[in-house]
Chain A
Amino acid sequence: MTNFHPPTRRTFLGLAGGAAALVTAPVVTVRPADATPAMLSAAIRNVVGEANVRTGRVRLDIPPLVENGNTVPMTVSVTSPMTANDYVKSIHVFNEKNPQPNIGNFHLGPRAGRAQVSTRIRLADSQKVVAIARLSDDTFWSATVDIVVTLAACTEEVI
């Protein structure tokens, strides 16, 4: 080991610099923990509470294979007569692996006429997207889609 040098003033200064960098590092390079399946279920619990979420009545249209996660078209529609007594109150969309589990909450009402909402979303990874509808009788219905994302959103640097 010819590279070994006894500690010098320069070494200590280097170490001190390194330590300083370590202290400031979390501020600059920390990447927020991605949403996990646990965060997904916590976010869903925030909306539905203790209610039982049943599968069905909700249709989530989203491409199963996405090339660019920055703009993914998504349409959620719910089977509902949309009358004054039987309508969709709200639609909530969640994901599994973006930095945050929430995508959007859409509040409708009997005047919507049709329970359908479209938007464009970002997906940071191949993952599961869940749409949950709250009906006027306070029952919850859901649909889940697995999506493969080849180019993830959120990862690019700003030049």
Chain B
Amino acid sequence: MPAALINVPAKAKRGDVIEIKTLMSHIMETGYRHTASGEVVPRNIITSFACRYNGAEIFRADLYPAISANPFITFFTTATESGKFEFEWIGDNGFSETASASIVVE
């Protein structure tokens, strides 16, 4: 099972505003929960998400424990040129995942 699900249109017209949907599978443990025996479950969340379009950052998010498990983030961008979207998630305990998607702009 892939850790990340990305939805980027394969094609767009120049100047179109396109929607990008991303989902990363992650527990997003808040650090505020307890086990039945009373121990605190240590925090384990994704703290940062970024999207680059042909190398330039177009979207970035700082995440807190209030973001649900399996963080689902959607945002928009203007299709200016064909190229590659790169996505990066960074989190606690050295968590780091990347994904990419290509788009053809006509």
- Of residues 38 through 77 on chain B, the ones whose CB sits less than 8 Å from some CB of chain A are 38-41, 53, 56, 58-69, 71-77
B72 contacts A120, C-beta separation under 8 Å:
yes
Chain A residues in 8 Å Cβ range of B56: 111
A107 contacts B61, C-beta separation under 8 Å:
yes
**A104 with B62, Cβ < 8 A, contacts A99-B30, A111-B53, A157-B35 known:** yes
Check: B100 CB closer than 8 A to any chain A CB. Answer: no
Q: Chain B: interface secondary structure?
A: strand
A98 to B66, CA, bound (A): 7
Check: B3 CB closer than 8 A to any chain A CB. Answer: no
Per a CB cutoff under 8 Å, which of B33, B60, B77 touches A107? B60
Check: B80 CB closer than 8 A to any chain A CB. Answer: yes
Chain A residues in 8 Å Cβ range of B30: 99, 122, 154
Closest beta carbon of chain B to A109's beta carbon, Å: 7
Q: Mark B8-40, 1 if CB is under 8 A from A, else 0.
A: 000000000110000000000010111110111
A34 to B81, CA, bound (A): 47
Q: Mark A85-96, 1 if CB is under 8 A from B, else 0.
A: 000000000010
The A-B contact count (CB < 8 A) is: 111
Per a CB cutoff under 8 Å, which of B39, B61, B72, B74 touches A105? B61
User: Residues of A within 8 Å of B, CB-based: how many?
Assistant: 37
18 A-B pairs in the complex with CB atoms less than 8 angstroms apart: A71-B69, A98-B66, A99-B32, A100-B66, A104-B61, A108-B75, A111-B77, A112-B59, A112-B75, A112-B76, A112-B77, A113-B77, A121-B66, A123-B66, A158-B34, A158-B35, A158-B41, A159-B36
User: Which B residues fall within an 8 A CB radius of A?
Assistant: 17-18, 30, 32-36, 38-41, 53, 56, 58-69, 71-78, 80
* Besides A114-B76, A120-B67, 15 other A-B contacts (C-beta < 8 A): A71-B69, A95-B66, A100-B66, A102-B64, A106-B60, A106-B61, A112-B58, A113-B77, A118-B75, A121-B68, A122-B30, A122-B65, A157-B35, A157-B36, A158-B35
